[in-house]
């Protein structure tokens, strides 16, 4: 369903289980960045009313997810650590060339967002099925559904604002590029790394 070309090695969960505090901190910041991304769509593309409406709802949802993860950190007696660079996202964002029309920029930004949500969904599914901590397994199963909805929403907007055939070509090329990135990742207790 997600179209990812390279699934995460299930052994990644073993790495995560060795440092739950680290994955929760990373996850919290992923949710904060997702809220910030939604805000950036509102700021950059205010003329697209439907997009602004959906992004407004998404900001609320993502910040509520941040709070949910932060609450899990607090419940376990920890504090939120510092944000880290997201190597996955930084590498992914190099795929599309800079410049081009405003519409091209919008489509590229939507495709990046769709793919980040798709990979998050895939990782959450894996955690929900493989992690020994049953409370976290349930937590990630519930969040997985949201991520899948976000992925399809971003991809639908890309196809709405861009020419569908070209968007589909770009999407497939981005999926191939992402698979190459993933060959080097999956060795850290981070949502994408």
Q: Name which of 27-36, 38-47, 102-111, 177-186 the model is least confident about.
A: 177-186
Is residue 186 scored above 90 in pLDDT? no
pTM summary value:
0.95
Q: Is the dihedral of CA 33, 35, 39, 44 positive or negative?
A: positive
HSE (CB half, 13 Å, CA atoms) of 11?
Answer: 3
1: pLDDT confidence band, cut at 50, 70 and 90? low
Average pLDDT, integer, range 48-58: 98
Nearest Cα neighbor of 116 from 186, 33, 23 is 33
What is the overall mean pLDDT for the chain?
Answer: 94
Name the nearest CA neighbour of 27 among 115, 123, 125, 118: 123
Return d(Cα 38, Cα 65) in angstroms, integer: 14
CB 26 within 8 A of CB 84: yes
Question: Could you read off the pLDDT of 72-122 as tens digits, one per residue?
Answer: 999 999 999 888 888 999 999 999 999 899 999 999 999 999 999 999 999
């Amino acid at each position: 369903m997600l179209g990812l070309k390279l699934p995460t090695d299930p052994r990644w969960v073993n790495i995560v289980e060795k440092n739950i505090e680290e994955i929760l901190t990373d996850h919290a910041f992923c949710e904060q960045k997702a809220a910030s991304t939604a805000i950036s769509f509102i700021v950059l593309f205010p003329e697209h009313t439907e997009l602004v409406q959906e992004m407004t709802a998404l900001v609320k949802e993502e910040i509520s997810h941040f709070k949910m993860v932060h609450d899990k950190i607090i419940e376990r007696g920890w504090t939120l650590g510092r944000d880290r660079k997201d190597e996955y996202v930084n590498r992914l964002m190099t795929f599309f060339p800079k410049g081009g029309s405003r519409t091209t920029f919008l489509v590229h930004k939507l495709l990046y967002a769709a793919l980040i949500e798709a990979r998050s969904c895939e990782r959450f599914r894996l955690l929900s099925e493989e992690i020994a901590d049953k409370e976290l397994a349930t937590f990630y199963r519930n969040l997985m559904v949201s991520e899948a909805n976000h992925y399809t929403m971003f991809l639908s907007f890309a196809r709405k604002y861009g020419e569908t055939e070209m968007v589909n070509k770009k999407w497939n090329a981005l999926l191939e590029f992402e698979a190459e990135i993933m060959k080097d990742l999956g060795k850290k207790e981070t949502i994408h790394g």
